[in-house]
Amino acid sequence: MSTAISISREDIFHQLKLSCQIPSVIKGFMTRKILVSTAEILNIKVEPVELQQAADNFRLINKLKSAEQTWSWLQKHSLSLDEFEELICTNIISTKLSEHLFADKIEPFFIEKKLDYLSAFIYEIVLNDEDLAMELFYALTEGEISFPEIAHQYIQEPELRRSGGYRGMVLRKDLKPDISAAVFASKPPQILKPIVTAKGVHLILVEELVQLQLDEKMRAQILSELFSKWLKQQIEQVEVTLNFDSGTTTVCH
């Protein structure tokens, strides 16, 4: 036996407050307002053909293969057709605005930060005992034990242990300075002398060094970074006033 429940706008808003989602909702609202107002200032417009193509792509990504599926999706998310169009339009504006503001800054940024985009494929084991780490280091260099054997014995985290301590590709900018300096001064494949940090004693096998190229994937990553930083700065400059029934609250960023 099913039970009917009536939910009002006030109920939804109350639940958003109780689930502590108001800050993320505010951020989303501010983001949309900033995108739309900046696009208007820069005379960036969305053409009908762009809107149609983006809507088609959205339906494809969300597996909305028919009009019935699309309508069901809209009902599920309480969206009208006009609101769906607004959603798609905002996405297009975001893309066009990021290109307008930062497309010509990608290459200079990559050149300036080129060292940060150096990467390495490494294996890593973090120990608590420096003497033990040195002992294992010399055993490795003498071929008395393998890195996977040490990983299996000393790594606690199951997935990392099963992979033999494989960290995959790591960017230079994401490594601690001492570790970064040693990794990128190495001649792979090379086992590094144990490095002590606040986290512990790092035993690292450098498998390969890689200089990333400014390909389409890297361009998209840099564009996203630049645009996100700009948007964050814009949001931080805005003072928001929340007008609730219980009173007025000012939110500073």
Does 124 share its domain with 202?
Answer: yes
How far is it, in rounded angstroms, from Cα 188 to Cα 174? 19
**pLDDT value at residue 212:** 80
**Looking at the domain assignment, is residue 151 inside a domain?**
yes
Does 18 share its domain with 104?
Answer: yes
**pLDDT value at residue 50:** 96
Q: By residue range, what is the domain housing residue 130?
A: 117-211
Q: Where are the beta strands (DSSP E) in the chain?
A: 118-127, 166-171, 190-191, 195-197, 200-211, 239-244, 247-252
Does 20 share its domain with 77?
Answer: yes
**Count of C-beta atoms within a 10 Å radius of residue 202:** 22
Does 122 share its domain with 164?
Answer: yes
Per mean pLDDT, which range of 81-85, 132-136, 173-177 is the poorest?
173-177
Does 82 share its domain with 163?
Answer: no
The enclosing domain of 137 has a CATH number of 3.10.50.40
Does 81 share its domain with 164?
Answer: no
Please tell me the total count of domains within the chain: 2
Q: How confident is the model at residue 1 (pLDDT cuts 50, 70, 90)?
A: low
Q: pTM score, two decimals? A: 0.71
How far is it, in rounded angstroms, from Cα 180 to Cα 195? 11
How far is it, in rounded angstroms, from Cα 33 to Cα 235? 10
How far is it, in rounded angstroms, from Cα 92 to Cα 31? 14
> What average pLDDT does this structure show over 160-176?
92
pLDDT digits over 45-92, tens only? 999 999 999 999 999 999 999 999 999 999 999 999 999 999 999 999
